[in-house]
Structure 1
Amino acid sequence: MARLSATSSAVDTNGHIKEPTTVPLPAEGDVPLSKPFSHDDTEISTSNNDDDEETPLPSSDSYPVSHDPTLLPGGSRDLCFIGLQAFVLGSLFALSICATITLVFVQPSRWWRLPAFAICFSVFHFMEFWTTAAYNTPSCRASSFLLFNNGKAYAIANLLAALEITISAFFPEYQAIGVYPTTIAVGLTLVIIGQFVRSMAMVQASTNFNHIVQSERKDTHVLVTKGFYSVFRHPSYFGFFWWSIGTQLLVGNKVCLVGFAVVLWKFFNRRIAIEEKHLVMFFGDDYENYRKRTGTLMPFIG
Structure 2
Amino acid sequence: MSASGLGILVWVAMVVGWYVIRYPFERRAKRGKVAITRRGGPETLRMLVSFSGLGLVPGLYAATGFPAFADYSPLTIQIALGIGLAILALVLFRLTHKALGKMWSVSLDLREEHKLVTSGIYRRVRHPMYSAFWTMALAQAFLMPNWIAGLAGLVGFGTLFFLRVGPEEAMMRSAFGEDYDRYCERTARILPGIY
1:153 alignment partner AA: V
- After superposition, the Cα gap between the structure-2 partners of 1:205 and 1:131, relative to the gap in structure 1 and judged at 3 Å, is same
- Aligned mates of 2:8, 2:111 — CA distance in 1: 43
- After superposition, the Cα gap between the structure-2 partners of 1:280 and 1:190, relative to the gap in structure 1 and judged at 3 Å, is same
Q: Which structure is higher in helix share?
A: 2
- After superposition, the Cα gap between the structure-2 partners of 1:290 and 1:163, relative to the gap in structure 1 and judged at 3 Å, is same
- Aligned mates of 1:229, 1:200 — CA distance in 2: 9
Task: Select the residue among 81, 84, 87 that pairs with 1:186.
Answer: 81
- Aligned mates of 1:261, 1:240 — CA distance in 2: 9
Is the counterpart of residue 208 in structure 1 residue 103 in structure 2? yes
Give the equivalent residue in structure 2 for 1:115.
9
Is the counterpart of residue 286 in structure 1 residue 179 in structure 2? yes
The correspondence of residues 1-302 of structure 1 with structure 2, limited to 5 A, is 104=1, 108=2, 110-132=4-26, 138-139=31-32, 151-157=47-53, 158-164=55-61, 166-167=65-66, 174-176=71-73, 179-214=74-109, 218-297=111-190
1:89-127, Cα deviation, whole Å (9 max, x unpaired): xxxxxxxxxxxxxxx3xxx57434443332222221121
Question: 1:154: how far off?
Answer: 4.6
1:213 alignment partner AA: L
Question: 1:253: how far off?
Answer: 2.9
Question: 1:233: how far off?
Answer: 0.9
2:56 alignment partner AA: L
SS in 2 for 1:284: helix
2:17 alignment partner AA: V
- Aligned mates of 2:82, 2:3 — CA distance in 1: 19
Normalised to the residue count of structure 1, the TM-score between the two structures is: 0.51
- Aligned mates of 1:159, 1:189 — CA distance in 2: 23
- Aligned mates of 2:7, 2:85 — CA distance in 1: 16
Question: 1:209: how far off?
Answer: 1.2
- Aligned mates of 2:94, 2:130 — CA distance in 1: 11
Equivalent residues, number: 180
CA RMSD of aligned residues (A): 3.2
SS in 2 for 1:175: coil
- The structure having more radius of gyration, on CA atoms, is 1
SS in 1 for 2:72: helix
Seq. identity, % = 19
Give the equivalent residue in structure 1 for 2:38.
none
Normalised to the residue count of structure 2, the TM-score between the two structures is: 0.76
